Every structure is written in C-alpha cells, then in structure tokens.
Amino acid sequence: MIRFSNASVTYPGGVQAMRDLDLTIEPGEFVVIVGLSGAGKSTLIRAVNGLVPLTSGQLQVNERDVTTLNRSGMRDLRSEVGMIFQGFNLVDRTTVLKNVLMGRLHEAPTWRTLLGLYSKADVHLAAQALDRVEIIDKAYVRASNLSGGQRQRVGIARALAQEPSIILADEPVASLDPPTSHVVMRYLQQIGRELGITVIVNLHFLDLATAYADRIIGLRDGALVFDGPGSECDADVFESIYGRSLTADDTMAKQAAL
C-alpha cells in the first residue's frame, strides 16, 4: 500500500511540485497519473521510491515510512519497487539478459556482481521476466540492436526481475509510436492483473489513460485535482485538469493523424 499524507515537495530552486497531497493507492491497483507537463507527475512517481525526498508530510510504502529510511532501508524499499523509464535506461553495450539481471542486484553479494557472476536462481528469474514480455529469444542480443518497443519490453523485464510489489512507469510510451505504445501498455496491464502488482503510470495522452486505467489521478500545479475511475474521466474532466480546452496534441490517436 502507498499512502501520501499531507505530503509536499519543494525543489531547491523554489518550485513547489507537490502540494499537500493526500492519496492512498491499494495493492494491485492500476493507476494512471495525468496532468500537463510540469504538473508534478514525475515528482509523485519518484517520491514513491525515494528518488525525490518529501520536504514535508508523510509517505508510507509497504509499511515503511519513506521519509525516515536510512541508506540500507532505502535500498530495501527500492528493491520492492520496479521502475520503468521514458528513455528505457538500458546499458546499450551489454546484452538484454545482463540488463535484466540488473533487477537482481539487490539480492546479489557485491563480490559476485564485481566478478560478473549471477546465481542460477537470478538467471532463471531474469529469463522468466523476459518470457513474460515475449522477448526471451533476444536474451543474448546487445540492447543497442533492439527497436524502441523491444527496448521498453526489456525495461519492463528488468523491473519484473526484481519481483516487485509495485511498478512505477514514468511516461513509458512517450518515445514510442502508437501501435508500440499499445503493446507496452497491454503488457503493463497484464502484469498488474496476473501478478497482482500495483502499477502507477504517468501518461501524456488522455485516450491512452482512459483505455487502460482503473483509476485516474489528475494533477495540476502539484495539487491533486481529480481522483476517480477511468470511466468517469471524460473531456470535461480533462479540461478541468489541464485548465484549458483539449487539443489534438492531447490524444495519441489525433496526434498521430497530424
């Protein structure tokens, strides 16, 4: 479970990217966060695994109080939370399998990692993760030789290899074309449903958001301005979240048609 209580984030420059947020996300929910660029979506996601510290308020993730964790507590928390990135964040020069094995580092002793040794169990988990996103045949291919959609599937497999209870995805399809975006979103949805993992996704396009979200959270200027099921989220609601009328840029289908 994830619970923000009266949580705020103010960056060193003075920008307040999270304002008195009260939000509870139950295990297994598939939540999509929407909002204009700069609304604080990334900040919210990155607060969950401690990449961005709160400036005030409380945040509980899996019974841990994120604001008071020491270094090893933080590493333990992060091992339970998988993360997927807009730019994939793969090591291009190494193989797909080695990239996915990065998800097992928390469980491996440092000396084994230094020698490049991975336990059989870790390799098995990595293979399972690759199999789930149907890219296991590329296990020994260099990551640089994959297409964007394949790279993001490797990114998902790396997160899955952690055996996480939560997966965070910060604009995971922003660098992909529409058909590939749907493939990636469907894998995320499947993972949530079949493995019971909580999935939190930042999305830019509201047609994608309504197509996949069980629950949509709208942010504006760091504050929560909408929280409801995807079915309740129509054009009027989006206009209120965005604070302006919708344009072709806001939906993937229309933007692709431009």
Partner 1 sequence: MTSGPVGVASPESRVDGAARLPKKPGPTPFTIVTTLGAVVMTVVTARAVGFSFEGLIENLTRPNSVVEGLLNPDFSQIWSERSRAAFIETLQLAVLGTVAGASVALPLALWSTRVGNPNTFLRSIVRIFNNIVRAIPDLLWALIFVSAVGIGALSGLLALFFFSLAVTTKLTSDVLDGIDPGPVEAANASGAGLTQMLRTAVVPQILPSYSSFVLYNFELNLRSSAVIGLVGAGGIGERIEFFRSRGEWEEMWGLVVMFFLVVMIIEAFSVTLRRRLV
Interaction of residue 165 with partner 1, rule CB under 8 A: no
- In terms of Cβ atoms closer than 10 Å to its own Cβ (0-12, 13-18, 19+), residue 13 is exposed
> Which residues is 201 bridged to in the sheet?
32, 169
- In terms of Cβ atoms closer than 10 Å to its own Cβ (0-12, 13-18, 19+), residue 137 is exposed
Interaction of residue 38 with ligand ADP, rule CB under 6 A: yes
Interaction of residue 152 with ligand ADP, rule CB under 6 A: no
# residues contacting ligand ADP (CB under 6 A): 12
Cα atoms in the 13 Å half-sphere on the side-chain side of 135 = 32
59 or 77: CB nearest partner 1: 77
70 or 110: CB nearest partner 1: 110
Q: Give min distance, CB of 22 to ligand ADP, in A.
A: 18
CA distances to 30, 31, 193, 200 from 27, in Å: 9, 11, 11, 11
Pair 9, 43: CB distance under 8 Å: yes
Binding partner at 40 among ligand ADP, partner 1, Mg ion, none, C-beta below 5 to 8 Å by kind = ligand ADP
How many Å apart are CA 28 and CA 31, to the nearest integer?
9
135 or 209: CB nearest partner 1: 135
Which residues in the 15-54 window bind partner 1 by CB under 8 A?
49, 51
Binding partner at 35 among partner 1, ligand ADP, Mg ion, none, C-beta below 5 to 8 Å by kind = ligand ADP
Which residues in the 28-87 window bind Mg ion by CB under 5 A?
42
How many Å apart are CA 251 and CA 258, to the nearest integer?
11
Binding site for Mg ion (CB under 5 A): 42
Binding site for ligand ADP (CB under 6 A): 11, 13, 15, 17, 35, 37-43
